[in-house]
Structure 1
Amino acid sequence: MPVIVLEARDFTSPLFLVRTLEVLSSCTTFSLVASLESSELNKNSSHSQHVNTFRIFCMFTWCFFFTLTLLIHILSVIQFHSLLPISWKNLTVTVAVLGALMCLSTSFIFPWMVMNQLKMSPRPVIATVAACLTFLAYSAESYILRTQTHEQRGYMGSMPGFLKILQLWGSCQTIPLIVETSHLHPKEALWQQWVSGVSYSVCIFMSLIILVVILGDFAGRCLLPFDKFLAGFSMTGVLFYIVATVICFTKILQAKGPRQSHNSVDLVIVETVLVSVTLLSYTVDLAFSIKLLCDRSHT
């Protein structure tokens, strides 16, 4: 089968340009950060214990989305994506929106890692600018895809699809926070760490199952009707995140003790905000699912 390449005018389209910018800026970012010494990240000893975990998280984010975007970019250029057994429109929207959210997180985390330097070298500054540019590029692609018709952007481009991406993002953000909390207090409130970890892990697993079903066009093969399948997952997510929210507010009350460090309090507050946002997304998503079930029951 001959390889079909885009026409000349397609190489100047906004979508092609923003994906090129995503590849270049993410590659620049993780290349610069990988070359940094530990002393260039943070010389503040109170923060140094967090640097390794969050550096791994940032590096994984940039490398993962660089790889995905590069593959999408190549397949789009050679027009090979039509032969793949996946929903291409849902895949591109998912990568763009999730990439924007994840790169938004790294745009805050990485500057926090280097902000206490007395004399900052040029590489962390350039890496910070490149990280912010990566976020803007993914945001621009998300906007471009969102302006397409519903048939072009697919389910993940709708509001329920965006909520599911937001749920996956919120669950992923809690992973480094749980790791750091367990390092700071390995023996304190072990049951809280286990319950929170299980709640986040189950919700990540559910989100990945939903993504596989949608991207693989397996909705018609589910044992349950797809709308009931989504409603059940949303209800489960709400229940798990209610438990996680209660635990987070309990941690805030415990963190006010005199023996608690300022860093641990900051981590608990960030985790509480993320859990609250994710709980809100699950609640709104459940409302959409219930409304869809009610509408179909009256038809």
Structure 2
Amino acid sequence: MSPQGGQYLNKAAVFSSLGAARLSQLALGCSVVAMVSHSAGYSGGSYGVFCMAVWCACFGMTTVVFFLDATRLHACLPVSWDNLTVAFAALATLILGGYPVYFVRAECPYGGCEVRNFRIAVTVCSIAGSLAYGAEVILSRAKPGRVVGYMATVSGLLKVVQGFVACIIFGALANGTEYSRHVATIYCVVVYAVCFAMTTVVVILTVSGRTGCLKLPFDRFVVVYTLLAVLLYLSASVVWPVFCFDRKYGSPERPSSCPRGRCPWDSKVVVAVFSFVNLALYVADLVYSQRIRFVTQQPRV
């Protein structure tokens, strides 16, 4: 073996704070997948299957990230590695921290209390995994005097959260919100779709390292797009509640005959609440995006 062979392995992938966070992600992800497969009864419904798919995807992606980082093979990929890893870690933090809570039931399901106990253990490990991914985000995020990718900045991380919140809105829209009854609510859906698509484009361009293909400077493009998203979400946040909860168009109170979990009125409330959440996120994004633009324009000393 060549005495220089050691340089091909990245010891920092293991013996560092970031390496420890990823090893914790692997251990917790493996534990979750094993317990769910063993006796958590995930196949009892579509939601359980979805959770299992998310756990497997996160565990698989973390395995690939750890392997490529340890072997330095990520340098062969046509992507911006730092942007890719922090964007994935931020998304995994959000997904693993929220979905498993709905996977747990206080009562014992058909499989007995053993299934419930396994589900509790799975939820605990999944939330711990979310914290491990959150630790990676904190370790990778932008700090004063440190050069990092766009996704490691506050603005970049907010892009991931905005996309996640938009997915929650789409899920509620698909749960019988009856948005097609009014042109105004259809407009709101178009707003959600356009903003989500543009946010996705920004993330893809950043992760793939193709921001240079834009005709505008990337920082200016982000500011212009975010301002447009703020205006669109502001209009949707006003129009949606009016046409869903005003007595002229909808119902301001929850119908007593509406079934729990399948009530269009509940879905409309979810859309309204998360519309305001995303509006606040885009406003915060605009502030930080403008700040980044000013910093990049400072003259050299």
Structure 2 residue 131 is the aligned partner of structure 1 residue 136: yes
Residue type of the alignment partner of 1:201: A
Structure 1 residues 106 and 257: alpha-carbon distance in aligned structure 2, compared to 1, 3 A threshold:
closer
Structure 1 residue 243: Cα displacement: 3.9
Identity of matched residues, %: 25
Q: Which has the larger Rg?
A: 2
Q: Which runs of 5+ in 2 are unaligned?
A: none
Residues of 2 paired with 1:190 and 1:66: CA distance? 42
Moved over 6 A (4+): 294-299
Structure 1 residues 296 and 25: alpha-carbon distance in aligned structure 2, compared to 1, 3 A threshold:
closer
- Describe how 1:91-240 pairs up with structure 2 within 5 A: 91-111=84-104, 114-117=105-108, 120=113, 121=115, 122-146=117-141, 151=146, 153-179=148-174, 181-182=175-176, 189=181, 194-240=186-232
Q: Which runs of 5+ in 1 are unaligned?
A: 42-50
Structure 1 residues 176 and 69: alpha-carbon distance in aligned structure 2, compared to 1, 3 A threshold:
same
TM-score, normalised with respect to structure 2: 0.77
In structure 2, the residue matched to 1:256 is 253
Structure 1 residue 103: Cα displacement: 1.7
Number of aligned pairs?
282
In structure 1, the residue matched to 2:9 is 5
Which stretch of structure 1 is more off in the superposition, 60-69 or 73-82? 60-69
What's the secondary structure of 2:172's corresponding residue? helix
Structure 2 residue 271 is the aligned partner of structure 1 residue 271: yes
What's the secondary structure of 1:153's corresponding residue? coil
Residue type of the alignment partner of 2:210: F
Structure 1 residue 262: Cα displacement: 4.2
TM-score, normalised with respect to structure 1: 0.78
In structure 2, the residue matched to 1:77 is 70
Structure 1 residues 127 and 64: alpha-carbon distance in aligned structure 2, compared to 1, 3 A threshold:
same
Aligned residues of 2:173 and 2:268 also touching (Cα < 8 A): no
Structure 1 residues 100 and 192: alpha-carbon distance in aligned structure 2, compared to 1, 3 A threshold:
farther
Structure 2 residue 23 is the aligned partner of structure 1 residue 23: no
Which stretch of structure 1 is more off in the superposition, 54-63 or 278-287? 54-63
Residue type of the alignment partner of 1:212: I
Q: More helix by proportion, 1 or 2?
A: 1
In structure 2, the residue matched to 1:45 is none
